[in-house]
Structure 1
């Protein structure tokens, strides 16, 4: 099922009433049903189109939110994608700088940019590696980043056929360790300084990399997790768009952890979160919940939205845990 919900802006500014009320502040505007599990959902900027993908399909589903006289989200077409099976499904990315195309792939050697209207591939990454990928991110209309499950990063420029930069592979000390990445929002059209790509492993290791020179990480840390992530498809790491050096992780349990990376160094050290959102776990005590995704509000620096495996959806604010020392 796909839902398009809206949170009124005035509900977040604290002028009406502090806190959010489900009956007042959440309104489902459109909805639809998918015959297959949806693991990735992207909006195509400046359009009424949505894109979905998942392990049960070897295609990307294109949906359209109906006109004002209907609340339905309807499937309108499919785009063929070279999916490699249940554990290696197609990842997708979109960008506001080019709303006519979608970036997609399940492995390094089948990454394409496809034009939605013609369904023709207009670019293919010129790499032969069959490594599965965990994330794709546009940086602008011409460049994009790829993170493999082994932690290797690729930076590609679509204006030059062979313009691909590759990071030194992140060593995995344990068998089965998997990686994902998060990219600073400032990269999408605006220059930034310092670390801009954060990578997270299923063992709780984090590396921060400068996209201008990602041969080696700038900072490393080992985050506080009780046990390794068993479902690496749910791992998520995200930069706070309005707070310097703050980032968040989820997918290991029923919590979202927020970290301040300002004091991190290139030598990995154990780090503790400055805040932990436990709302999902508290509402269902005794159940083995997993946070399935989370995202930062683009305009409210300390507001996030998170979802969990029980179907719950939370919008919440946070403040740094005060030290008792």
Structure 2
């Protein structure tokens, strides 16, 4: 893993500008691009390859010291992400989740909707080894499965590629503990555990669906995102309510390939709390990597990516239901100055995630193999 050396004039100008824009900035280059960035035990970070060639690496990285220190240390593009252990998958990794309270990882990816289970080895080994696979009924020919994990009762994985294939499997025994009742075959773009009993599913066409593990026979009913434009693909991000608020309140952000953002409450997904149009380029090629996520430590703050080589950060606290264009409070442009990717085009951000404790710190990756860690300078009164 090597530090990126920016040689072009534009990149040099951006790095100079970064002295004013960032409290902390690290730039790295992976051997292959990743579309997953997952926090694992001990604030480790997992990434994995998704290209078409064989031998897709799964790596667990020790983060830079500044991600663990209480105080940031300024601009520091050093080679200080360390590979702690790794393994190889014989299929591209499109999704990867750490199973809480265990040393297990679950991955999914083409050509079908089956899952692979991995063991992150003990301290005396640097190997991530495959330990089992979770097949799915009629999984052949199905899109790759979206996944979520929880360890409330036992290590569980929620998975499915379509609304009528959603199920929960006990990771270690591979026992099926829930199968959704639905005849709707809409493709899923995401799913999440709201708690150990409640699931939230998002369809690619924008419908949201709540399910209860305790009522497996209840048919799933998908509700369209309010005012959702037709013909666009959608993804979702689930957040936590403000400190001191009703514990059942969890905001859901739905992002479309046209840049529309709607905010809803999981208790009533048929109504929206606010909506906005993001200032993003037309989504001719970005739908595959659409990503929206709530900041875990900044109230009302979220980030979006997948449209180009940037990550946009928004403060939603002043949004209303008008759907007017929203102004980002920060735009990370660093990936746009990278090398052109294997498809011969400019880099496209494939994924981003927030640091679980550091309020304004994000990690982002792009199709050229770049991996950035950044903490923007706080503007007065905006997000934190």
The two structures have a TM-score, normalised by structure 1, of 0.90
Match of 1:27 in 2: 82
The answer to whether the Cα contact below 8 Å between 1:155 and 1:164 also exists between their aligned partners in 2 is no
Alignment partner, residue 59 of structure 2: 3
Any idea what the Cα deviations from partners look like across 1:168-218, whole Å, max 9, x if unmatched?
Answer: 31355343x10000001459xx94476600000001001000111122111
- Shift of residue 289 of structure 1? 1.0
Secondary structure in structure 1 of the residue aligned to 2:195: coil
Partner residue of 1:97?
152
1:273 to 324, 328, 351: 328
User: Would you say the 8 A contact 2:248–2:267 is kept in 1?
Assistant: no
Q: Which of 349, 367, 373 is residue 291 of structure 1 equivalent to?
A: 349
**Residue 303 (structure 1) aligns with:** 361
Cα gap change, 1:100/1:11 in structure 2, threshold over 3 Å: closer, same or farther? closer
- SS class of match (1:281): helix
Secondary structure of the 1:22 match is coil
Is contact 1:195–1:208 with CA below 8 Å preserved after alignment? Answer: no
RCO higher in structure (CA 8 A, sep ≥6)? 2
CA separation in 1, counterparts of 2:351 and 2:291?
6
The match for 2:167 is: 112
Q: For 1:61-100, list aligned pairs within 5 A.
A: 61-81=116-136, 82-83=138-139, 85=141, 88-100=143-155
Q: Cα distance, 1:23 vs. partner?
A: 2.5
Match of 2:238 among 144, 159, 183: 183
Aligned-residue offset at 1:36: 0.9
Alignment of 1:159-198 (within 5 A): 159-163=214-218, 166=221, 168-170=223-225, 172-175=228-231, 177-185=232-240, 191-192=246-247, 196-198=251-253
Q: Alignment partner of 1:126: what SS?
A: coil
Work out whether residues 242 and 301 of structure 1, in 8 Å CA contact, stay in contact via their aligned partners in 2.
yes
How far has the Cα of 1:268 moved from its partner?
0.9
Q: Is 1:219 matched with 2:274?
A: yes
Q: Quick one: distance in 1 between partners of 2:198 and 2:331?
A: 34
Q: Which digits, 9 at most, give the CA deviation of each residue in 1:7-44, with x for residues without a partner?
A: 256555464733444323x1110111111111001111
Task: State the partner residue of 2:304.
Answer: 249
Give me the TM-score of the superposition, normalised by structure 2: 0.76
- Deviates further, 247-256 or 152-161: 152-161
Aligned to 2:181: 126
Alignment deviations for residues 243-286 of structure 1 (CA, whole Å, 9 cap, x no partner): 11111000010110001111111121111211000111123379
- What's the counterpart of residue 18 of structure 1? 74
SS in 2 for 1:156: strand
Give SS of 1:216's match.
strand
Instruction: Tell me if the contact between 2:209 and 2:223 (Cα under 8 Å) persists in the aligned partners.
Output: no
Matched position secondary structure for 1:147: strand
CA contact (8 A) 2:338 2:370 kept: no
Write the distance in 1 (CA, Å) between the matches of 2:239 and 2:199: 13
Task: Give distance in 1, aligned partners of 2:353 and 2:289.
Answer: 13
Gaps of 5+ in 1: none
Q: May I ask how many residue pairs the two structures share in their alignment?
A: 318
Equivalent position of 2:208 in the other structure: 153
* 1:290-313 C-alpha deviation (Å, 9 max, x unpaired): 111100111000000111111111
| Distance in 2 of aligned mates of 1:100 and 1:194 | 25
